[in-house]
Amino acid sequence: MKRIDLAAYGVPEQVVRCVDVPDPGPPDAGEVVFDVVAFPINPADIAFCTGSYRLRPPLPATPGAECLGRVVATGAGVTHVKPGDHVINLQRENWVQRRRVRGDDVIAIPPAIPPRQAAMLRINPPTAQLLLSDVTPMHPGDWLIQNVANSAVGRLVIRLAKAQGLHTINVVRRDSLFAELQALGADHCIVDGPNLAERVAALAAAPIRLGIDAVCGPALARIASCVADGGAVVTYGAMSGGQPAIDRGDLMFRGLTLSGFMLGRFLGRRSLDEIRAIFADLGQQMLAGKLDAPVAAVYPIEQIAEAVAHAQREAKGGKILVAPNGMI
């Protein structure tokens, strides 16, 4: 079978290798074997390839924070999934054709979810949901501001916030995105840049209680400058590659709080039953067409170098997926 290995940490399209490795074999007791139907290339996977991610295992290493799988076989004692079920995997190393994992690591999802969307259920939907629920109490009618609003997470934040009665101001890099984000439920859209706070003040009908950042650097400071006194700012990504920057007056004089979000840390506060309940709810919403993200292209696993190069392009217009066992 085929697997993606990193020959080194470096420029992703130069270090990814599609290699032939032995099949993982049948499941032992308590294990599940599944075929990988599709995986997305997320910004964290790109960071993993470059060696700048928080995990930097010895080489050769296999990337892949999430995937959609189809169960092939189950070991003795596994009762929550059966062959043919569609599953997401809570563990990494998913850039491969077939996995053999602990049964507790897979969660069955509705088979009718379109596979391209199901491949993106594991990370971004719960990230958007927990950014809204776990950072600061938010109530219907409250306002938030976020950057990278056209990203997969940003679009999910817009839709989940709207469903909760929250209002969103959405910061992007070009005004050609406004119409599609407003169609998702965005209250306002604005292009990032100087004087953001002044421009945003003219839009929000009430003080902004939460600022959500995934860019870091001065972009985080601009988001913070829009948040009302005593509000919360959370950073969950660093698309600029920079460190968080924030005006110390915003922290000291205006009483903002700055925190960081990582999905694994926030899911880690929950029991396996609670995690399964989160994915059951998000899976139903995805099935109902309430949560989705645009897909720009799907590649076969042999074209992994082209796929990771495409995933790093500006304004790529959606996720890049890989379908290791045939096109979806």
CA–CA dist 189, 318 (Å, integer): 18
Site for ligand NAP in 8-67 (CB under 6 A): 42-44
Q: Which of 62, 94, 146, 151 binds ligand NAP (CB under 6 A)?
A: 151
CB of 291 to ligand NAP, least distance (A): 13
Rounded least distance, CB 25 to ligand NAP, Å = 32
Q: Which stretch binds ligand NAP (CB under 6 A): 10-18, 99-107, 195-203, 311-319?
A: 311-319
CB 286 within 8 Å of CB 125: yes
Closer to ligand NAP by CB, 69 or 126: give it. 126
Other C-beta atoms lying within 10 Å of the C-beta of residue 106: 25
How far apart are the C-alpha atoms of 248 and 299, rounded to whole Å? 45
Give me the catalytic one of 9, 53, 236, 299: 53
CB neighbours (10 Å) of residue 261? 18
- Residue 150 in the binding site for ligand NAP (CB under 6 A): yes
**Residue list 157-216, contact with ligand NAP (CB under 6 A):** 173, 214-215
**Least Å from the CB of residue 239 to ligand NAP:** 4
Binding residues with ligand NAP: total (CB under 6 A): 24
Q: Is 53 a catalytic residue?
A: yes
> How far is CA 233 from each of CA 134, 211, 260, 278, 284, rounded to the nearest angstrom?
12, 5, 9, 24, 30
Q: Rule CB under 6 A: is residue 125 a binding residue for ligand NAP?
A: no
Give the H/E segment covering residue 16. Answer: strand 16-20
Query: What's the distance, CA 304 to chain centroid?
Result: 20
Strands (E), 120-201: 143-146, 167-172, 188-191
Binding mask 257-296 for ligand NAP (x = CB under 6 A): ----xxx---------------------------------
Query: Which residues have a catalytic role annotated?
Result: 53
